[in-house]
Structure 1
């Protein structure tokens, strides 16, 4: 089983897109699986910690290590409440670089009540490290292996959010004397669960974050492991720039007018290109009105452009005088988004107040906000078995396929096709708290 990460896994595929030098990844798992310690170890062993940070950690009053050993978890547990309780509460982002790649890490909480924080961190991630604590996994004498619910929950969320790379880090191998048999059984159980989910690009790796084994340096404790260290694996993952060949999507954030002291009637539509590319002279459609438009000019702070691509924030000037406002979308004519008044979506419920099918919520989709109602919970997902069953409501951390109706039509794509226009959040009309995150499905 130690060949799960083989050389063929590390070979970068031929791809017409340009590889990105920056990798965004998150750590996920259950409580005290060692997520913060792992990130601290990565930063420490890759020389990504400054001397003053080391000094502050060594003098920290809430350190949880014996003697003069540095508590590396304190590097990401920045809140006082986190240090006092020894848990991670909020998402902590850290940046570091090696000679081969730059990284942005999101350390996410393990507690079930903070699953919403994990969803936030995962929404922009290219890869996820699912930590599995060998000391918590139940290994039966009959060969059975029982993974923790949070391991399954976070893997399910990673699948729903379509995170490209999944790394299963079997941590605290020092507690089982680096036993290969224990590692093999845990990885086999996870692979079975991943097959149920439909996860594909999975890399398994044994390590000890506290001792530093197989994180940056392989060491000699696990000679049976023929795979790369964690940092080598992270450096080898292929991540590509956003695709310019997707259909053009430009949600309007703001309509810019001149200052009133000029004769020309300047009217520009400002926003971020969420998918595809645009050039001067392109024919576009305005959603939801269906009007036709022609790109006259593309402006940025430095001046005018001939074309612009996904990720750029620009101001578009049109040949036509049209009624366009915030929340409208400029899109490709050939592959226009679908106008939806009713939609089906996978919903992660993030509120402590249960879903009330009688209530209205605000739906925030790209730059558009309108009233919405969840009309039906089609199927509630059982995290442990992956079975689906009918339900009347959703509670904190529930995941379900639901049906919604919206007051004003939204121009959307399926989440699989275009992430930005296939995602939305639901907001409580009274408290203005985000209560759910959704992914639009067309199947």
Structure 2
């Protein structure tokens, strides 16, 4: 009986998947095995490496426990050595090599028939051309030469853009480990592209890795310094590289939750649902992980957001549509106005959460309605909060039982 080494940086399912990939690779190198199979087992999994009707060995895993169950036409000491070597690779966080996956993202065009999307895209759509990167793990090739003419009045809607995405999945061999990584990166990178362009992005996880020649060509571009980071408003959106280096894994997970919520909001026709998602996009950045994070949520939202992106908050504060969008009447000095505005924003999320969403705007007259403008203003605020967080990641301590205990009158700082 042996045990896998896991930890905060490698959850059990990832450790098990990496272990399995290493066994497949080591068995192929030492025993020339080309087959592999898995079957569910009560409390775990049973893995068969090799030909089930010929030479093979069987491993049972339950939790972190790994055991060689049987062998056929394979020396037991060889199978045991492969298992121990794979366990050692996992403990060392050795990923072995790199598997290259390629897929396509489709950045949607402007939808003139959808009032909330129309308003969001009209002012904030961005067209990108050429190669961009997200750390060392993702290359994005935006097509060139798509802009052709403009609508009357000088407005030129950004066209549909099919982006080739190359994913570098570090792992011992093309396997479930690398495929899961590629799928997670695909969804996250699509959401980051949605932030960059201001438009919803369709995506499909890649099914198979590239062949050796195509992978070699892609790997030569991996560290090409001429390829710029994907950015918005001149600020990097590189959550896989830059943010991870300055904020660690927790900051990456916060940003991932934020971009996924933001992307989901872009596709919503129901303003109240979009508002709920946009506020969630902001909260993902600042909400503490411990149980005390469930306390003082409104206070945390208003104080933290005012410090995270004050200029964006002030831009919403003075916007001509803000009073109608949030039923907000400015009173007192600027600090009070900011606090009460953000309380109104949070209430705009809480009301439909507890009472159900309102109807979707369908008529042309609804383009400038309060619910639609609420989405427009919140889209800008959520995007600004994300950009500010990527540049300087943080987590709010408001509600901490020692720093900001119940009944305290002085707001805790970020």
Same fold (TM over 0.5): no
More strand by share: 1
Higher RCO (CA < 8 A, seq sep 6+) = 2
Which interval holds the TM-score relative to the shorter structure?
A: under 0.3
TM-score of the pair, normalised by structure 2: 0.24
From the two aligned structures, give the one with the greater helix fraction: 2
